Amino acid sequence: MLRPLSLIKLPVFLLVYLSLNVASAQVYNSSISAASGGTGRGSIEPGDALLLNSATLPHLKGRFLFTSFAKDEFAASLSDNTTESVVPAGLSYVQKKSTSSFGDLKQQDIAVTLADFVVEKFSMGLTGHYTEQKIPNASYSQTNVDLGFLYTPFSNLGIGLVGYNLLGEQDNIPKEFREKTSVGAGFNFIYQNSIRFRVDATSESFYGVGLETYLNKFIITRFGYSNDTDDSRQLLTAGVGFNGPRFQINYAYQGNTEKSGDYRHSVDLVIPF
């Protein structure tokens, strides 16, 4: 039976493919995806459901509070997919600090997500963003939309497709700060409930591979590699996670293979309730 979001699936799906001609998307990686080479568009994780591919949200049963901490970065999200909810939904917030050619840059992003199964084994999610960027003596705000799809033909296999910033660029904002349209895809395969393989690629000349190993019921180790070929930026990644009955905590490290000062540590906390 068709679900509510299926009414828009065809025209917007075509829009994703027509939006390949512009540059990079602004996405946030949880510690799970960061430790796995920046992958996760085909995987189901509370920390990535609202930030990487919203179509994974219908697969998460219950409510989840997610928080993530890294240097000059903070992210939080709250998702609800309970029997009382009309449709799986979530709210997320991301804050970042960095430098630009205009000076110090502060960014905030508030996003609202709605998602559901279109048909069995095929889900879709829609995320609306309000982004604010501040530099010395100026500030800019933008609204945009992401659209995600996830196909799970088997319980151990997921294939994801996401279109980011589908409303396009705002010409009245300096090009350096514009939210760019892009497309990303991801593949996820779990082997005998002990190893998970992940592969992602985007239209921005990025690709990543990741491997997760389940040491026991609670401890997961992660390794990965990613390459942004446009920027010649290669990262080696690693991390570890504790997946307990009451909470989850994950750590990730990303390091540039050619630039010693280019690295990132992050820690996430996920609480189901």
Instruction: For residue 27, count CB atoms less than 10 angstroms from its CB and return exposed for 0-12, middle for 13-18, buried for 19 or more.
Output: buried
Q: For the residues 251-272, what does the mean pLDDT come to? A: 95
Using only the alpha carbons of the chain, give its radius of gyration. 18
Per-residue pLDDT tens digits for 42-96: 999 999 999 999 999 999 999 999 999 999 999 999 999 999 999 999 999 999 9
Confidence of residue 139 (pLDDT cuts 50, 70, 90): very high
Three-state DSSP at 180 gives: coil
Listed in sequence order, the residues at least 6 apart from 232 whose beta carbon sits closer than 8 Å to its beta carbon are 258
Does the pLDDT of residue 265 top 60, yes or no?
yes
**Dihedrals phi, psi of 83, to nearest 5 degrees:** -65, -25
Token reading at 265:
């540590």
Per-residue pLDDT tens digits for 198-222: 999 999 999 999 999 998 989 999 9
**Which helix or strand (DSSP H or E) is residue 123 part of?**
strand 122-135
Which contacts qualify for 89-93: CB closer than 8 Å, 24 or more apart? 89/57, 89/113, 89/114, 89/115, 90/49, 90/50, 90/54, 90/57, 91/50, 92/50, 92/51
Beta carbons of 118 and 2 less than 8 angstroms apart: yes
What does the mean pLDDT of the chain come to? Answer: 90
Does the pLDDT of residue 1 top 80, yes or no?
no
Give the range of the structural domain holding residue 31, as residue numbers without chain letter: 4-272
Tell me how far CA of residue 237 lies from CA of 69, 70, 77, 191, 226, in angstroms: 17, 15, 24, 21, 8
Angle at the Cα of 72 from the Cα atoms of 180 and 249, rounded to 5 degrees: 100
DSSP 8-state code for residue 14: H
pLDDT at 26: 62
pLDDT at 48: 95
Q: What percent of the chain has pLDDT over 70?
A: 90
Per-residue pLDDT tens digits for 165-207: 999 988 888 888 888 899 999 999 999 989 999 999 999 999 9
Report the number of distinct structural domains present in the chain. Answer: 1
Confidence of residue 108 (pLDDT cuts 50, 70, 90): very high
Kindly report the CATH number assigned to the domain that includes residue 154.
Answer: 2.40.160.60
